[in-house]
Structure 1
Amino acid sequence: MRRTLGELDRILRGRATTADAMRGGTIRIPTVRLGVLLIVLGMTYGVSMGTFAVTNRADAAPMQLLSSMLKVPLLFALTLVVTFPSLYVFNALVGSRLGLPSVWRLIIAALAVMLALLASFGPIAAFFSFTTENYAFMLLLHVVVFTVSGVIGLRVLLRTLERLATTADADEDDDADEDGAATVGIGAPVRGVFLIWIIVFGLVGAQMAWVLRPFVGNPDAPFAWLRERDSNFFESVWTMLTRLLLSSGVG
């Protein structure tokens, strides 16, 4: 575990994604060990989400705590299962030299940043769970935390692609000299594909969270592992924001 935490620290500090560390056009990280750590980090934030049900004496609060703990890593896993195939196919269609292992390592590195940030926000989320009874506020707080963590994690993905592009330039020049034609490396088309995928990942992740709800646990509703699939994530956020503003006397 100590070695895995060391690898996570390398990613967070940017040492795993420096130009020197990515010689050969790939990022070198232990994906299996990091994957296990990512599950633990997701479960850590899930516990902080479930504490609202415990502190507000919601129905079956321990079950809500367990449910939230399991659902956060499941949310990221299912979102990745849904979106990763399209990323790899589009990446191949634009002629990228990034193979399946390289693309997978890039995504794991981005998720490592995302979930490390998410877990670091856990004590803050738990603090508000202990100090407020406003369900709408807690929902919106978690939306903000997920959004901030996601944006930063996916920015790391794009920044790593930029660094990979510089390390691949020399190899592309060598290929052009040997073969008489340059191969497509990690240029603008590939970055464009990843940018589109980031948007898709965010949209799918948001709706996946809606499908897997509840994460927080409404103190006025009975416990359920899953709610009925009515409405959608974005409509729900707007409803909660309106409710929060009305309860605070704004508008």
Structure 2
Amino acid sequence: MATFVLVPGAWLGAWAWKDTADALREHSHTALPLTLTGLAERAAEGGPRTDLDAHIADITGFVEKNDLREVTLVAHSYGAAPVTGAAGRLGDRLERVVYVDSAPFAEDMRMLDLMPPEVADQLGEQVAAHGDGWRLPMPPFEVLGLSSSLDGLDEDRRDVLRARATSQPFGTYTQRLAGPAEPGPGVDRVLVACHDFQGLLDGGVPMLAFLDHAPWRRFDLATGHWPMLSAPAALACILHGAVS
């Protein structure tokens, strides 16, 4: 059975993985959701210096402290940035990397590079005006829905997400990924594509074309951008199938 380390996306903590983790345990896997510095129950640990390197260190430190081996490292959304960094540093502890509605980062890439310049500028203005210069509040759903599918998030799930979301340390968006940014050649590579990524891949976005070819294995999931909340059991089934 596999050992999963589950890394959440922006504004989320380990809590977001609970139902998926429980379903993975029903398949006899070890499922270890992780909260990154400055978020959820670790919000008080964050500060102006909390950056991408801090979150990479969270992941590598968690794996090494617990002496985990043959790890399947799972990234959701923003989690792709620190997971890419960690995957390049974990060596033979890493068996597999899974990107959920996200993709690996290239060296010297940052989260803000995924956005039009005017959007990145707006985020910086929000941080300055409402986040004490270092925290990015979660946008309203009507704004999130412009770039990320909300499919499957009913009102109850949206209420939970809104109530439990934590402002994201903005340094994790502004810092560029330093190398190494590539896992070893023997590491299994998996993509779970929800509605957002299915559209991008099927639309032939050049920078993502490599994800539809070996050594990558693609699994499609018919839900929105937060599958651990909208379809946790289905996500667990895909993860189980990916390691079986």
Same fold (TM over 0.5): no
Structure ID, larger Rg: 1
Give the structure with the higher percent strand.
2
Give the structure with the higher percent helix.
1
Q: TM-score range by the shorter chain?
A: under 0.3
